[in-house]
Amino acid sequence: MSTMASRPPMSTRLPVLPLYHPTLLLPGGRLNLSLPREQTDQVLKLFQDNSETLPIVAAVPIPEPADSQPIEWGCAARILRIVRPVARGSQYIVSIQGLTRIKLDKPLSTPTFGDDAPFQSVQVAYPSEETALPHRDVVSAFRSSSLRFLSRLQLQQSQGLAGMDNTPSRTSRAAFSKIATMIEDVADDRAAWVADLLIGAVPSIEWNDKLALLSTTTATDRLTLTTQILQKLTAIAEVASNVASRVDESLSKQQKEYFLRQQLSAIQRELKSLHSDGKPRSDSEQPTSSDDLDLDNTDDADEQDLAALKAAIEKMLPGTEERKMGAREYRRLKRIPSGSVENGVIRSYLEWLTSLPWPTSDPTPIAEKLLHAKPFLARAREQLDADHFGLEKIKRRLVEFLAVERLREKELENLGTAVSGEKSLVPYKSQPTLPAPGKTSPRQGRIKAPILLFCGPPGVGKTSLGQSVARVLGRPFQRISLGGVRDEAEIRGHRRTYVASGPGLIVQALRKMGTSRGVLLLDEIDKVGQSNHHGDPSAALLEVLDPEQNYSFNDHYLNVPVDLSQMLFICTANSLDTISGPLLDRCELIQLSGYTHDEKLHIARRFLLPKQLGSHGLSEEQVHITEEALKEIATEYTREAGVRSLERTVGSVVRYKAVQWAEFIDDEDSVSTTPSSSNELALEEKVYSTTENGDFLLGTKTYSPRVEVPHLEEILGLPRWDENERERETRRGLVYGLVVMGQGEGGVLPVETVSVPGKGGVRLTGSLGEVIKESAELALSWVKRHAYDLRITDSPAQDPLRFPDEIDVHLHLPAGAQRKDGPSAGVAMTCAFVSLLTGACVPSDVAMTGEITLRGRVTPVGGVKEKVLGAHRAGLTKVILPYANRKDVEQDVAPDVRAQMELVFVRTIREALDAAFGKNALSWRKGPLLLESRL
């Protein structure tokens, strides 16, 4: 060909000038490269070595680092000139011109400039010159595609649309005409040369397409490839033009907001039309199942969503308030443009409204899952016993509640009640009609579900009890944490006038359950925020927890009455002090005082230890904690009403044994060296043997699974609570009282009194509160009043603190860092003052609790179960209690604990003194019998 004939003689070994992606040079094209000063100096050396002619290099295109294709083709290029930068520090401009294609004899790695070798010289080969002219049809197709491409570029320029990146949109019409004329008049033998120029002049063509053209040697193949590239660019330009034409040209104020969305929709329609031409899809494009959704087809998705909303509204009962509200909002949604903000607000509201379990127009009969061969109550007891150990009083109350619920279900089933009783969100009536005299409404005939309130220390199983009730009833369960809720809108919902408004927690839980007959747990109800500028959350809960009102609960977001009367509400709290009176009045209180040590041992053995073994990958044969060790953990390392700390401590012991077991099986001296089929050491090939006491033997190593009491100090450290409460003594002025500690556990607290020289006063220490200080003053006043009867003074008028000598009484309760308060230390303080002033001593195995009055009466106190259990743990044999607390002891304290202790119930202080010091231990004066008037 003429281009090859005019090619000057060139060497077969050329220095390489790398052109990094996306730069590429084709024959006939020109390219300006920016090079730093160091690399420009290397280029200048080429001019010095070729002083007579301009130097020629091999311009080799370098792909991206992630592309592993070999570098085999390049373009022989002549370096035309080097332009010095104007600004100091800028890069030099090197101009090169493509001459002809070259093929490297060996594929290259990524070439770089170096200090010693400025260019990497390679051996190149020049393709043989082609003498045959390309076929006329190929040349005609090239001309047609080139002219069509140029006309599309000219049209885009006239419309002001740059369809492709970096296209010459500012080229004049005369330039397009000149290029078109050149293509029309080009000879067949120079058509391939024009193809190289045209492809090299369009920057928007992909780098891989240019590389493919560079590696094509024959003219016919180059023209065919150029035609395909130009047809692809023309098709892209036409799609862009179609997308632009489908967008409405009248851009009003509202249309500007969703202009880009319309463009995206038009592009998606074009993409969809590509798959509808009858061609089969690739494997990656085939849907995995018939239920897969086309996430890119937003138009169809919007239509489907609207159809689903309409169908859900039509299923609502005719004439109900929720259907009226849904129909009204749906009509508004159809009128509002999809791009407006109000459209999204209404759509969100309708989605919430239709997702709630409203009564449908085609009710179905109740299908309860509780009718099985096994009796329901027996199944309920088994479920409660499987989930919890002990708590017999609470279980009995829950079984009573479950029995009532079962009878309600059987009654509804016998009457053929429809699902409106199961999912009954009743329609709103602005003026509710009252039943006629002598008749009752259907709602009045139902048994109202109680609002249960589980109150107790943390970790005693309040939340898990609610889950057990839901499992027994076969109802869905949801939990709402009310701790820290300070806004009334969290309960009632935000009004729709606010930005990002939504329904309250109650409606959200109702949506998750999918039925209005679920079990809803209101956790930490005692930690709800108090009244503030955001409203009173506790007051909002009054309507929710009132069976007389919650059948028409009004959520501010929905603005439609919601029936919560069929919902079973269970509340939990740690304390009753912060719960408002009206809210507490609506709940049925069930106290969970905590577990005894025997119950904790059973819980640890049945539940906690198997759970920890399973979570740490061990079995019961690999870890065995003795009963004495478990008892030591429960009494000396944990002290709480629940079992959370006990579970963590048991977990620490299991982890310690897990480390020992892992070291035992991983020891190099103990591992079998017999390789398996995969040349790996398999644990299954280790042969273990056991001794008589259950120890494991593997080679010379021994592992003992037993955990005994002497091992606990090494595993858990020193006990957190020592045995100070067991180290008691009998001495004057010392009495032992019973208290309830902050963890919900009962304990023994000594009451110490001493007499010091003074002026007849009393001094109280030990970080005492106001109530317990008043108890001390009350006890001292009673002792002063009865000092003559106790033979402390010689006359009723004498002060025992001033006769025969003036003294002060100092009363102290140890552990001064702990705050102490409460009305339960009056009896113990009275006995301490009597012991100090009379010299009589109370035995060290006697403890007491109870409050007193000035008349000498002993009043009841709280926490009796915890105090009795604390006395039993401390080894006390005799406990003095108020007579009014006798019923609490008989109901809450286990019979085996009562059998091991002597429980004395007293009505007066004199009975308490006789029980504490012993009969006739105090020499009372026999005076006239005083009878208290009961008028």
Catalytic residue numbers, as ranges? 824, 867
Task: Tell me the helices (H) and strands (E) count for the chain, helix number first.
Answer: 29, 27
**Biggest alpha carbon–alpha carbon distance for the chain:** 149
Identify the burial level of 131 via C-beta atoms within 10 angstroms of its C-beta, where 0-12 means exposed, 13-18 middle and 19 or more buried: exposed
Of 578, 595, 500, 584, residue with least CA distance to 541: 584
**Would you say how long the chain is, in residues?**
935
Contact at 8 Å (CB) between 94 and 52? no
In degrees and rounded to multiples of 5, residue 123 shows phi and psi of -85, 125
Q: Of all residues in the chain, what percent are helix, strand and coil, respectively (each to 5)?
A: 40, 15, 45
How far is it, in rounded angstroms, from Cα 773 to Cα 812? 11
Q: Residues with Cβ < 8 Å from 637, sequence gap 6 or more?
A: 649, 712, 716, 719, 720, 721
Q: Could you please report the per-residue DSSP string of 75-94?
A: EEEEEEEEE--SSTTPPEEE
Contact at 8 Å (CB) between 545 and 573? no
Rg of the Cα trace of the chain? Answer: 47
Q: Residues with Cβ < 8 Å from 896, sequence gap 6 or more?
A: 598
In degrees and rounded to multiples of 5, residue 781 shows phi and psi of -65, -40
Beta strands in 348-431 (DSSP E): none
Tokens of 95: 């101009």
Q: Determine the straight-line distance between the first and last CA of the chain, rounded to whole angstroms.
A: 138
In degrees, rounded to 5, the angle at the alpha carbon of residue 407 between the alpha carbons of residues 405 and 408 is 65
How far is it, in rounded angstroms, from Cα 467 to Cα 475? 10
How far is it, in rounded angstroms, from Cα 257 to Cα 340? 8
Distance from the Cα of residue 904 to its chain's centroid:
52
Question: Torsion angle of alpha carbons 642, 643, 644, 650, nearest 10°?
Answer: 160
Bridge partners, residue 569, by sequence:
520
Bridge partners, residue 703, by sequence:
696
Instruction: Convert 731-754 to b/e letters by CB count within 10 Å (16 or more is b).
Output: ebbbbbbbbbbebbbbbbbbbbbe
Contact at 8 Å (CB) between 462 and 456? yes
Q: H/E element holding 751?
A: strand 746-757
How far is it, in rounded angstroms, from Cα 404 to Cα 399? 9
